[in-house]
Amino acid sequence: MLAEPHTLKEILELSANHFAKHGLISPRLEAELLMGHILGLERIHLYVQFDRPLEEKELEEMRQLIRRRLQGEPLAYILGEKEFMSLPFYVDSRVLIPRPETEHLVEKALDLFSGDGEVTLVDLGAGSGAIAVSLAYYLPRSSVLALDINPEILEIARKNALRNGVEGRIRFILGDLLEPIREEGPVDGILSNPPYIPTAQLEEVSPEVKAQPRGALDGGSDGLRYYHRIAREAYPLLRQGGYLGLEVGAGQDEAVGSILQDQGFIDVNVEKDYSGHKRCVWGKKKKA
């Protein structure tokens, strides 16, 4: 009689082949991450348990997760976790999944502010808190204001601050863009990764992107809706010589650069990400 495949090794192989057939880019890695998630094991520890037989319950769980993944649910939502700037972030379908492209915005901020000691920085539209938490973590003398319009989402950002041990240096503020801190300031830097996908293009994005909250993606008809208001509200809030750093979508760098210039920002420059795409636009507030 033929034995059903049931060891961890066999199930991993079957799952990876199944994922590969469906065109996933990293089939083996995803299979291992799902398996590790079910068994409560780090990937590396799967290898020493290769011959372990899986129980029916575990197999059924694996089948279910594979099904969800193949229906387009992003891996990060299934795992409930995504790494950003080498830090772990809890995520679920209420927040945008932090992206490696956004690390570029944070890296640039670390370059700009690491020599400055006690800086106050703003993460506008904090979502998971990826930007706010990594700024607080890597700039140990900074204070960070994390703003979001949705209280549930702000709780997720707070949870991620706690998880990374920086909750004491982040203030979580509910409200519409920079409105709630209008009377405060001045601050040294304002960073944002606003929604920037043109509404009509939202129909064409991949299932993984489609599964993410529309409010975090939809940038209005030309995708530029938020940049105008952000530039306008950021300028008076910044100290002289302070910086505004914005992530932008494909082909938006020139338009966003002009928006910043029109607002009075100087030294406006575009930064490329690791894949050579123009990804962030930075502007500086003039010294008097």
Contact footprint for ligand GLN (CB under 6 A): 96, 98, 102, 125-128, 130-131, 193-195, 216
Least Cβ distance, residue 234 to ligand GLN (angstroms) = 15
Considering beta carbons, is residue 15 or 134 the nearer one to ligand GLN? 134
Least Cβ distance, residue 150 to ligand GLN (angstroms) = 10
Least Cβ distance, residue 190 to ligand GLN (angstroms) = 12
Considering beta carbons, is residue 62 or 177 the nearer one to ligand GLN? 177
Question: Radius of gyration of the chain from Cα atoms?
Answer: 21
Give whole-number Cα distances, 32 to 39, 50, 184, in Å: 10, 11, 48
Contact residues for 203 (Cβ-Cβ < 8 A; gap 6+): none
Distance, in Å, from the CA atom of 177 to the CA atom of 230, rounded to the nearest integer, reads 7
Considering beta carbons, is residue 134 or 263 the nearer one to ligand GLN? 134
Omega within 30 of 0 (cis) for the link into 74: no
Considering beta carbons, is residue 216 or 237 the nearer one to ligand GLN? 216
Least Cβ distance, residue 136 to ligand GLN (angstroms) = 13
Considering beta carbons, is residue 16 or 122 the nearer one to ligand GLN? 122
Residue with the two structure tokens 């049931």 = 6
Give whole-number Cα distances, 12 to 27, 43, 66, 202, in Å: 10, 11, 11, 34
Q: Which residue is nearest to ligand GLN (CB)?
A: 127
Distance, in Å, from the CA atom of 174 to the CA atom of 172, rounded to the nearest integer, reads 7
Least Cβ distance, residue 178 to ligand GLN (angstroms) = 14
